[in-house]
Amino acid sequence: MHKPTARTRRLATLIVGPTAILVAGLLVWQGSNAAFTASTRNTGNNWETGSVTLSDDDLGAAAFRIDGVVPGQTGSKCLVVTSQSTVPGQVRTYVQNLGAQGLESNITVSLQEGTGGSFADCTGFVPTTTLPPLSLSTINSSINDYATGVLPWSTTGTAGETKSYKATWTFDVTGLTQTQIDALQGKSVSVDVVWELQSS
Protein backbone atom coordinates (compact mmCIF):
# COMPACT_ATOMS: atom_id res chain seq x y z
CA MET A 1 0.00 0.00 0.00
CA HIS A 2 1.21 3.47 -0.91
CA LYS A 3 2.14 5.57 2.11
CA PRO A 4 1.15 9.32 2.01
CA THR A 5 4.01 11.70 1.76
CA ALA A 6 4.75 14.37 4.34
CA ARG A 7 3.48 17.01 1.92
CA THR A 8 0.14 15.20 1.47
CA ARG A 9 -0.25 14.89 5.23
CA ARG A 10 0.32 18.65 5.70
CA LEU A 11 -2.21 19.48 2.97
CA ALA A 12 -4.81 17.19 4.53
CA THR A 13 -4.31 18.89 7.89
CA LEU A 14 -4.78 22.34 6.35
CA ILE A 15 -8.04 21.25 4.68
CA VAL A 16 -9.53 19.29 7.58
CA GLY A 17 -9.14 22.13 10.14
CA PRO A 18 -11.21 24.82 8.33
CA THR A 19 -13.71 22.22 7.19
CA ALA A 20 -14.33 21.14 10.77
CA ILE A 21 -14.84 24.75 11.84
CA LEU A 22 -17.30 25.33 8.98
CA VAL A 23 -19.30 22.21 9.85
CA ALA A 24 -19.40 23.20 13.52
CA GLY A 25 -20.65 26.68 12.56
CA LEU A 26 -23.38 25.19 10.41
CA LEU A 27 -24.47 22.97 13.28
CA VAL A 28 -24.62 25.99 15.64
CA TRP A 29 -26.62 27.99 13.05
CA GLN A 30 -28.98 25.07 12.59
CA GLY A 31 -29.37 24.87 16.35
CA SER A 32 -30.14 28.60 16.56
CA ASN A 33 -32.67 28.20 13.81
CA ALA A 34 -34.56 25.69 15.87
CA ALA A 35 -34.80 27.90 19.03
CA PHE A 36 -38.15 28.89 20.64
CA THR A 37 -39.49 32.34 19.60
CA ALA A 38 -42.28 34.64 20.76
CA SER A 39 -43.44 38.16 19.89
CA THR A 40 -46.18 40.63 20.72
CA ARG A 41 -47.61 43.45 18.62
CA ASN A 42 -49.57 46.65 19.21
CA THR A 43 -51.59 47.07 16.01
CA GLY A 44 -53.74 49.75 14.46
CA ASN A 45 -51.72 52.84 15.41
CA ASN A 46 -53.08 55.90 13.62
CA TRP A 47 -53.00 59.67 13.87
CA GLU A 48 -55.84 61.89 12.65
CA THR A 49 -56.14 65.64 12.96
CA GLY A 50 -58.95 67.22 14.93
CA SER A 51 -61.12 69.94 13.45
CA VAL A 52 -62.37 73.37 14.44
CA THR A 53 -65.72 74.56 13.12
CA LEU A 54 -67.85 77.57 14.02
CA SER A 55 -71.32 78.53 12.84
CA ASP A 56 -73.98 81.01 13.86
CA ASP A 57 -77.75 81.32 13.61
CA ASP A 58 -77.98 84.40 11.37
CA LEU A 59 -78.91 82.31 8.30
CA GLY A 60 -76.71 84.53 6.16
CA ALA A 61 -78.43 87.79 7.17
CA ALA A 62 -76.70 90.88 8.56
CA ALA A 63 -77.51 91.60 12.20
CA PHE A 64 -77.99 95.29 11.44
CA ARG A 65 -79.16 96.91 8.26
CA ILE A 66 -80.75 100.12 9.41
CA ASP A 67 -81.81 102.83 6.99
CA GLY A 68 -82.99 106.31 7.99
CA VAL A 69 -81.04 106.38 11.25
CA VAL A 70 -81.59 109.55 13.28
CA PRO A 71 -79.46 111.05 16.11
CA GLY A 72 -79.90 109.25 19.43
CA GLN A 73 -81.47 106.15 17.87
CA THR A 74 -80.44 102.80 19.34
CA GLY A 75 -81.08 99.10 18.79
CA SER A 76 -79.95 95.60 19.76
CA LYS A 77 -79.51 92.23 18.11
CA CYS A 78 -78.46 88.80 19.38
CA LEU A 79 -76.51 85.99 17.77
CA VAL A 80 -75.76 82.44 18.90
CA VAL A 81 -72.36 81.00 17.93
CA THR A 82 -71.96 77.20 17.94
CA SER A 83 -68.73 75.22 18.02
CA GLN A 84 -68.72 71.83 16.29
CA SER A 85 -65.03 71.32 17.05
CA THR A 86 -63.42 68.08 18.13
CA VAL A 87 -60.48 69.75 19.90
CA PRO A 88 -60.34 72.40 22.65
CA GLY A 89 -59.77 75.99 21.64
CA GLN A 90 -60.62 79.62 22.25
CA VAL A 91 -63.07 81.86 20.41
CA ARG A 92 -62.41 85.59 20.22
CA THR A 93 -64.45 88.42 18.71
CA TYR A 94 -63.16 91.23 16.51
CA VAL A 95 -64.14 93.40 13.53
CA GLN A 96 -62.90 93.67 9.95
CA ASN A 97 -63.69 95.46 6.70
CA LEU A 98 -64.76 98.80 8.11
CA GLY A 99 -66.53 100.79 5.43
CA ALA A 100 -65.98 104.31 6.73
CA GLN A 101 -68.45 106.62 5.04
CA GLY A 102 -68.80 109.35 7.67
CA LEU A 103 -70.57 107.62 10.61
CA GLU A 104 -67.68 105.50 11.93
CA SER A 105 -67.06 107.89 14.85
CA ASN A 106 -70.73 108.28 15.73
CA ILE A 107 -72.08 104.72 15.75
CA THR A 108 -71.08 103.18 19.06
CA VAL A 109 -71.43 99.49 19.85
CA SER A 110 -71.49 97.66 23.16
CA LEU A 111 -71.01 93.89 22.94
CA GLN A 112 -72.17 91.42 25.57
CA GLU A 113 -71.43 87.71 25.93
CA GLY A 114 -73.85 85.40 27.68
CA THR A 115 -76.51 82.73 27.30
CA GLY A 116 -80.00 82.50 25.83
CA GLY A 117 -81.71 84.48 23.11
CA SER A 118 -81.29 83.94 19.38
CA PHE A 119 -80.81 85.85 16.15
CA ALA A 120 -84.58 86.09 15.76
CA ASP A 121 -85.25 87.26 19.33
CA CYS A 122 -83.10 88.38 22.26
CA THR A 123 -85.72 87.23 24.78
CA GLY A 124 -84.01 85.19 27.47
CA PHE A 125 -80.53 86.58 26.86
CA VAL A 126 -78.54 86.74 30.11
CA PRO A 127 -75.20 88.60 29.91
CA THR A 128 -72.10 87.29 31.68
CA THR A 129 -69.62 89.85 30.29
CA THR A 130 -70.26 93.36 28.96
CA LEU A 131 -67.87 95.59 27.03
CA PRO A 132 -68.36 99.37 27.26
CA PRO A 133 -69.66 101.15 24.17
CA LEU A 134 -66.98 102.20 21.70
CA SER A 135 -67.20 103.91 18.34
CA LEU A 136 -66.73 101.69 15.30
CA SER A 137 -63.60 103.66 14.37
CA THR A 138 -62.08 102.91 17.80
CA ILE A 139 -63.07 99.23 17.64
CA ASN A 140 -61.63 98.92 14.14
CA SER A 141 -58.28 100.39 15.18
CA SER A 142 -57.86 98.31 18.35
CA ILE A 143 -59.91 95.08 18.02
CA ASN A 144 -59.24 93.96 14.45
CA ASP A 145 -57.71 90.46 14.53
CA TYR A 146 -57.51 87.31 16.67
CA ALA A 147 -54.56 88.62 18.71
CA THR A 148 -56.55 91.71 19.77
CA GLY A 149 -59.90 89.91 19.92
CA VAL A 150 -62.17 90.26 22.95
CA LEU A 151 -64.67 88.16 24.93
CA PRO A 152 -62.53 85.01 24.96
CA TRP A 153 -64.59 81.82 25.13
CA SER A 154 -62.73 78.59 25.88
CA THR A 155 -64.31 75.57 24.20
CA THR A 156 -63.74 72.00 25.41
CA GLY A 157 -63.81 70.24 22.03
CA THR A 158 -67.33 68.89 22.53
CA ALA A 159 -69.50 69.43 19.44
CA GLY A 160 -72.56 71.59 20.06
CA GLU A 161 -71.14 74.09 22.57
CA THR A 162 -72.80 77.50 22.22
CA LYS A 163 -72.33 81.06 23.35
CA SER A 164 -74.76 83.96 22.86
CA TYR A 165 -73.80 87.53 22.01
CA LYS A 166 -75.80 90.74 22.11
CA ALA A 167 -74.72 93.89 20.29
CA THR A 168 -76.30 97.25 21.15
CA TRP A 169 -75.65 100.19 18.86
CA THR A 170 -76.35 103.90 19.28
CA PHE A 171 -76.15 106.84 16.91
CA ASP A 172 -74.19 109.01 19.36
CA VAL A 173 -74.02 112.75 18.73
CA THR A 174 -72.95 113.73 22.23
CA GLY A 175 -70.95 116.98 22.24
CA LEU A 176 -71.72 117.87 18.61
CA THR A 177 -73.14 121.19 17.50
CA GLN A 178 -76.29 121.29 15.42
CA THR A 179 -74.15 122.15 12.40
CA GLN A 180 -71.98 119.07 12.98
CA ILE A 181 -75.05 116.89 13.44
CA ASP A 182 -76.59 118.21 10.23
CA ALA A 183 -73.33 117.42 8.40
CA LEU A 184 -73.87 113.70 9.20
CA GLN A 185 -76.95 113.48 6.97
CA GLY A 186 -76.54 110.96 4.17
CA LYS A 187 -73.49 109.34 5.81
CA SER A 188 -73.04 105.63 6.55
CA VAL A 189 -70.72 102.99 7.95
CA SER A 190 -70.42 99.21 7.62
CA VAL A 191 -68.38 96.53 9.35
CA ASP A 192 -68.00 92.76 9.66
CA VAL A 193 -68.03 91.18 13.11
CA VAL A 194 -65.87 88.04 13.26
CA TRP A 195 -65.86 85.17 15.75
CA GLU A 196 -62.69 83.12 15.29
CA LEU A 197 -61.78 79.84 16.97
CA GLN A 198 -58.20 78.64 17.26
CA SER A 199 -57.30 75.29 18.75
CA SER A 200 -55.34 75.17 22.00
pLDDT per position as a tens digit, 109-165: 999 999 999 998 999 999 999 999 999 999 999 999 999 999 999 999 999 999 999
**Per-residue pLDDT at 200:** 84
Percent of the chain whose predicted confidence (pLDDT) is above 90: 53
Question: CA dihedral defined by 167, 169, 175, 178, rounded to 10 degrees?
Answer: 180
The domain ranges of the chain are 1-32, 54-184+191-199
Nearest to 117 by CA among 132, 128, 104, 133: 128
What is the value of pTM for the model shown? Answer: 0.76
Percent of the chain whose predicted confidence (pLDDT) is above 70: 78
Residue 166 · residue 117 · CB < 8 Å: yes
**Per-residue pLDDT at 89:** 93
Reported confidence tier of residue 63, pLDDT bands at 50, 70, 90: confident
The answer, yes or no, to whether residue 8 has pLDDT greater than 60, is: no
Q: What are phi and psi of 161, to 5 degrees?
A: -70, 140
DSSP lists the bridge partners of residue 192 as: 96
Reported confidence tier of residue 16, pLDDT bands at 50, 70, 90: very low
**Per-residue pLDDT at 30:** 47
CA dihedral over 111, 117, 121, 123, signed as positive or negative: negative
- Between the ranges 4-18, 64-78, 131-145, 181-195, where is the mean pLDDT highest? 131-145
